[in-house]
């Protein structure tokens, strides 16, 4: 039987310019997996939400130049602009949400259509997504992707899987704000989905569709009492109100079904995510990546999803 195929997909936008030339090669190198495709999807839409105030925002020309350099150097093999045409927008949203929605981004400015674009464009059994600011450790001779695929194949309830969120703790506990259970088969079970890093079997993911459409609260309490279907219709004709996060919509769907998001409990692979991407972090980034790839981390980082930046400097 042929081995399952997998694509790597990473979004690139103007907010990623300060760090993407460090983190994207690092992610590809550390994964060390024979991906069928390594895709960079460029978000060409204007910035919105909290993305507008991010430090070090680059130009669209800088994003494209960086992506071209990553393509020429062989880090990725495909660079594609997110398709914002009306026909594509309507077709993909009809599949994933069951109806038309105006917004292509959520209230934070995160590209929902771009997220769906990279899933739709992958012609493989699996898709691996990383946000472009993620950092990953993987032990030599170990493949968290291969283990993730095996767990997905053995457990039909696993809808998505990822490595540890933060380096391992002595007792195997995770510092998470959402409930989880440890499964004796080698993974943690979550009913909350995270869009920063995930490996999905595309066919199984499509069993979730259509996803519920969720909106941010209106200031008008009367409007807040309306069913989501009515809110969606109102939005389509008025353009008012903002979509909630795609990961919240996926979470709501798996809450009410058999599916779970799994986190592999092996200490041989883990990720960290920076909350602050300011100048001090950018200056330290090459050294941070070097330490992470070597498997070193300060004790204060164990079990924590977000980078405990000051602890890495001491």
Q: What's the rounded Cα separation, in Å, for the pair 269 and 31?
A: 10
Task: Kindly state the greatest CA–CA separation across the chain.
Answer: 58
The CA-based dihedral angle spanning residues 216, 157, 165, 31, taken in that order and rounded to the nearest 10 degrees: -110
- Residue 77 binned pLDDT confidence (cut-offs 50, 70, 90): very high
Contact 80, 41 (CB under 8 A): yes
Dihedral in degrees, nearest 10, Cα atoms 71, 75, 80, 82: -140
Neighbours of 214 (CB within 10 A): 17
Domain made up of 6-313: CATH architecture = Alpha-Beta Complex (3.90)
d(CA 233, CA 100): 9
3-class DSSP string for 169-202:
CCCCCCCCCCCEEEECCCEEEECCCCCCEEEEEH
Q: State pLDDT tens for residues 166-211.
A: 999 888 777 777 889 999 999 999 999 999 999 999 999 999 999 9
Instruction: Residue 36: count other Cβ atoms within 10 Å of its Cβ.
Output: 15
Closest to 212 (Cα-Cα) out of 96, 91, 120? 96
User: What tokens were used for 95?
Assistant: 């599949």
- Give the Cα separation of 264 and 160 in Å (integer): 11
HSE-CB of 299 using CA atoms within 13 angstroms: 1
CA distance 300 to 302: 6
pLDDT at 179: 87
Joined together, the tokens standing for residue 298 give 């300060």
283 pLDDT tier (thresholds 50, 70, 90) = very high
Query: How far is Cα 114 from Cα 106, in angstroms, rounded to an integer?
Result: 11
Query: Is the pLDDT reported for residue 44 higher than 90?
Result: yes
- The end-to-end CA distance of the chain, in Å, is 50
Which tens digit of pLDDT belongs to each residue from 84-112?
A: 999 999 999 999 999 989 999 999 999 99
Between 231 and 100, whose confidence is greater?
A: 100
Whether the Cβ atoms of residue 126 and residue 257 lie closer than 8 Å to each other: no
Alpha carbons 274 and 285: distance in angstroms, whole number: 10
Strand partners, 55: none
pTM, 2 dp: 0.93
Q: How far is CA 74 from CA 37, 40, 65, 70, 308, in A?
A: 11, 12, 14, 6, 32
The C-alpha atoms of residue 204 and residue 190 are separated, in whole angstroms, by 17
- Domain coordinates in residue numbering, the chain: 6-313
């Amino acid at each position: 039987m042929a081995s399952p195929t997998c694509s790597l997909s990473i979004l690139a936008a103007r907010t990623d310019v300060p760090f993407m030339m460090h983190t994207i090669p690092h992610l590809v190198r550390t994964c060390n997996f024979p991906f069928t495709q390594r895709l960079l999807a460029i978000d060409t839409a204007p910035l919105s939400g909290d993305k507008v105030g991010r430090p070090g925002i680059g130009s669209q020309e800088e994003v494209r130049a960086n992506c071209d350099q990553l393509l020429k150097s062989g880090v990725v093999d495909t660079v594609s602009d997110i398709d914002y045409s009306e026909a594509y927008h309507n077709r993909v949203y009809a599949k994933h949400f069951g109806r038309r929605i105006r917004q292509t981004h959520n209230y934070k400015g995160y590209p929902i259509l771009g997220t769906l674009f990279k899933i739709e464009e992958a012609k493989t059994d699996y898709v691996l997504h990383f946000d472009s600011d993620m950092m990953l450790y993987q032990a030599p001779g170990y493949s968290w992707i291969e283990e993730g695929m095996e767990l997905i194949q053995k457990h039909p309830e696993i809808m998505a899987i990822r490595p540890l969120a933060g380096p391992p703790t002595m007792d195997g506990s995770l510092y998470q704000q959402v409930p989880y259970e440890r499964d004796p088969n080698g993974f943690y079970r979550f009913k909350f989905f995270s869009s920063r890093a995930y490996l999905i079997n595309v066919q199984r993911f499509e069993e979730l569709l259509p996803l519920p459409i969720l909106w941010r609260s209106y200031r008008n309490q009367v409007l807040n009492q309306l069913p989501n279907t009515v809110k969606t219709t109102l939005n389509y004709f008025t353009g008012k109100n903002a979509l909630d996060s795609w990961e919240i919509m996926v979470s709501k769907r798996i809450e009410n079904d058999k599916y779970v998001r799994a986190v592999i409990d092996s200490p041989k692979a883990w990720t960290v995510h920076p909350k602050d991407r300011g100048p001090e972090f950018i200056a330290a980034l090459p050294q941070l990546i070097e330490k992470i790839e070597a498997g070193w981390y300060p004790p204060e980082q164990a079990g924590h999803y977000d980078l405990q930046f000051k602890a890495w400097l001491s």
